[in-house]
Amino acid sequence: MFRFRLQFRAMVGTIIRAVSAKLNRVAAIGPNDPPAQAYKNFGIGSIINWPTGNMYGERWISIGCDTMISAHVTLSAGMVPDQQMLTDPVVSIGDRCLIGRGSAIVGHYRIDIGDDVYTGMNVYVTDQNHGYEDIKKPIGVQDPHDDPVVIGSGSWIGSGAVILPGARIGEHCVVAANSVVRGEFQPNSVIAGVPAKVVRTHDGTKWIRP
Separation between Cα atoms, residue 4 and residue 196, nearest integer Å: 56
140-149: long-range contacts at Cβ-Cβ below 8 A with a sequence spacing of 24 or more? 144/108, 146/108, 146/109, 147/109, 148/109, 148/110, 148/111, 148/112, 149/110, 149/111, 149/112, 149/125
DSSP code at position 190:
E
Sign of the alpha-carbon dihedral angle for 11, 16, 19, 22: negative
Separation between Cα atoms, residue 121 and residue 132, nearest integer Å: 30
Please confirm, yes or no, whether 130 is among the known catalytic residues. Answer: yes
Separation between Cα atoms, residue 161 and residue 50, nearest integer Å: 23
Active-site annotation holder among 130, 145, 172, 202: 130
Give the residue from 164, 89, 171 showing the smallest Cα distance to 125: 164
Give the residue from 163, 167, 188 showing the smallest Cα distance to 177: 163
Are the beta carbons of 50 and 69 closer than 8 angstroms?
Answer: no
Q: Which residues are catalytically annotated?
A: 130
